Amino acid sequence: MYRAVALAALRRGLRFPLEVESEPEVVRLAEALQLRLETTPTGTRVFCFGEDVSEALRAPEVSRAASQVSAIPGVRRAMVARQRELGRRAGGVLEGRDIGTVVFPDAALKVFLTARPEVRAQRRFEELRKRGVHVRWEDVVAEQRERDERDASRADSPLRPAVGAIILDTSDLTLHEVVQKLYELALSVPVPLDRARPAHL
């Protein structure tokens, strides 16, 4: 969702790094955004104003812009309202950096997926290369570090594990193994989770 706002801002011609005086326009874009998510056999497709922008949302410039627009409180309020409505209407699995801490703090199961920085950077690098995006390893690492620092230090909904979250380090797991562990955790609900501190797997 934040990537969709970022894409809309880029297409509107807003310049990044974003100037403070541009933030009200980004908030208006977020509030007016016509956004639809559609589940298909191959994954979730994202439509903005009727256009399938699923591939465009993964571009490096959109990633950089998304981290900046997501730090704007008005944008976060608009997106959180939409996410809560989605959850109330259909339930399901939601993914995002503040889903367990802000959007659904009372969710039955909260998992904080993480991995060592070098592993995350390698995964992102390979993802981009597979899609034909030519990037340098050093740029991917720098962009990831900048995003993590910005998200962890922002005043509104900083990145952190939610109370009661299970922290799952995926550094040495395959995609199939991660899905299997999540499936097993989902089957364990409503086993009470330790709300005193995050548990590590």
More confident residue, 147 or 57: 57
Q: Answer yes or no: do 71 and 59 share one domain.
A: yes
- The 10s digit of each residue's pLDDT in 127-138 is 888 888 888 989
Same domain, 19 and 72: yes
Q: Is residue 170 a contact partner of residue 114, using CB atoms and an 8 Å limit?
A: yes
Do 55 and 80 lie in one domain? The reply is yes
- Give the sign of the dihedral formed by CA 115, CA 121, CA 122, CA 125: positive
Biggest alpha carbon–alpha carbon distance for the chain: 49
Q: Are residues 55 and 31 in the same domain?
A: yes
Burial letters for 68-102: b for 16+ Cβ neighbours within 10 Å, e otherwise?
Answer: bbbbbeebbebbbebbeebbeeeeeeeebbbbbbb
DSSP label of 107: -
What are the pLDDT digits (tens) for 61-115?
998 899 899 889 999 999 999 889 888 887 778 888 788 888 999 888 999 999 9
Q: Which of 92, 122, 140 is the last residue before a domain boundary?
A: 92
Domain termination residue (choose one: 45, 63, 92): 92
- Total structural domains within the chain: 2
Last residue of a domain, one of 75, 92, 109: 92
- Its pTM stands at 0.67
Cα 11 to Cα 13: distance, rounded to the nearest angstrom: 5
Range(s) of the domain holding residue 74? 1-92
CATH number at residue 88: 3.40.50.300
Would the CA dihedral through 13, 19, 25, 30 be positive or negative? positive
